[in-house]
Every structure is written in C-alpha cells, then in structure tokens.
A = this chain, B = another copy of it.
C-alpha cells in the first residue's frame, strides 16, 4: 500500500486528480465540469481507449511504444494520442535508452472512478 501519493496539483491545467465530488452529490460547477470533462474526453476516442487499456493491462503496469502497433492507425497518430493521454494526466512517460515507456497514472483514474461510483449507485 502507501500508494496514495497525492500529486501537487498546482497547475490550473492539471487540477485533474482531485477535482470533483460524485456526480450525483450536487451539480458540478463550471470549473469542476471543465476539469473533469478533460479526463472523460481523453478516453472518449476509441484509439486512445485501446492505447490506454493496452498500457494498463500490460505486465508491470507499463508498456513500451514498441509493443503497440496493431491499433489500426499510423505511428504518428499513435504518438499523437499518447501525448493527449499524457496531457490529460492519464499516462506518464519515461525514456529508457532506445525506448519510451508509458504507465498509468493511478490517482487520476481513482478520481474518475469516484465520480462515477456515486452516480452508479443512483437507482
């Protein structure tokens, strides 16, 4: 455990992780919605969702770009989408020698899960 490392969250661009209450608790403010929508939007593209799932499900929690080649789009497009996922705070990247490795950013995922967990209980 001890995995709950809280991000600094200083930049207004990436106030992404601890932004919002459960969706059914109260109406989101414009600011909250803006920040949360960025995360959902990042996963709102089929290619990005496959890329993200590919990284998330890969052994060790990280994947090299070289492992990704069968998503049906060109290499520049893959790079473009990985960048988008990184900008949304969902992935982080690290270059090790020749290859670049991407890994899932757990805190942001937890935030999205919290948003939905509330609304899912709404029956």
Total copies of this chain within the assembly: 2
A42 to B104, CA, bound (A): 22
Contact of A33 among B50, B110, B118 (CB under 8 A): B50
A113 touching B109 by the CB < 8 A rule?
no
Q: Which residues of B contact A52 (CB under 8 A)?
A: 23, 119
- Interface residue SS majority, chain A: helix
Q: Which residues of B contact A61 (CB under 8 A)?
A: 122-123
Chain A 87-118, CB within 8 Å of chain B: the 1/0 string?
00000000000000000101001101100111
Q: Which residues of B contact A27 (CB under 8 A)?
A: 50, 53-54, 57
A37 touching B46 by the CB < 8 A rule?
yes
